[in-house]
Chains A and B, each alone.
Chain A
Amino acid sequence: GESVGLHLPTLSVQEGDNSIINCAYSNSASDYFIWYKQESGKGPQFIIDIRSNMDKRQGQRVTVLLNKTVKHLSLQIAATQPGDSAVYFCAENKKLSFGAGTTVTVRA
């Protein structure tokens, strides 16, 4: 079975609001997690990553939080924009597997 999985398949967000996408993993040996964004008709693009010895990492408008106790990570997107509409995947490095993805739709 998959070692990572996203909680909700879809997320609808008002433009300007913050988005939170969640992901659970099962492999305690995973030491590196990555978030990807896939726009329609394109391949996945790297957004941000985090090592297991960290619990938070910030990028431009994005923040990833890692909770190793409950094996959960989340991606937060600040001030969501129409260009953020895409499918978001979390991945862990040990098995190269991806969850099913969360489709984020931004409402104008």
Chain B
Amino acid sequence: NAGVMQNPRHLVRRRGQEARLRCSPMKGHSHVYWYRQLPEEGLKFMVYLQKENIIDESGMPKERFSAEFPKEGPSILRIQQVVRGDSAAYFCASSFAGQGAPDGYTFGSGTRLTVV
């Protein structure tokens, strides 16, 4: 039973390009959460999705960032027109039940985005 799979592990983009980060939740999990982690900082919540729905996007910047979790396939975090400040590690987590569930969240290994 594979855990949460994120790809790519490392992504390098030039300023102005688009970055697409993928997350496949654990089997049986229908709730996905995205976090951003800057160097030497904690995990900042970005967005919470359930299949085909965005439940909470209060932590996601209003511009250039979007997320989806289609009925089929992985969840995608998209960053358009990347800037140097977008360089960070982006973690995805999934859970069986939703926010507030007693099972906690299982995290992936992250995608490290570097904008040059």
In residues 11-33 of chain B, which contact A (Cβ within 8 Å)? 33
Which of A14-22, A66-74, A75-83, A87-95 lines the interface with chain B? A87-95
Give the total of B residues in contact with A, Cβ under 8 Å.
23
Q: Which of A49, A97, A100 contacts B41 (CB 8 A)?
A: A100
Asked if A61 is at the interface of the complex by the 8 Å CB criterion, the answer is no
Give the total of A residues in contact with B, Cβ under 8 Å.
23
Which of B61-69, B76-84, B99-107 lines the interface with chain A? B99-107
B8 to chain A, nearest CB (A): 14
B residues adjacent to A (C-beta < 8 A): 4, 33, 35, 41-45, 48, 56, 91, 93, 99-102, 104-110
A residues adjacent to B (C-beta < 8 A): 2, 31-32, 34, 36, 41-46, 49, 51, 89, 93-101
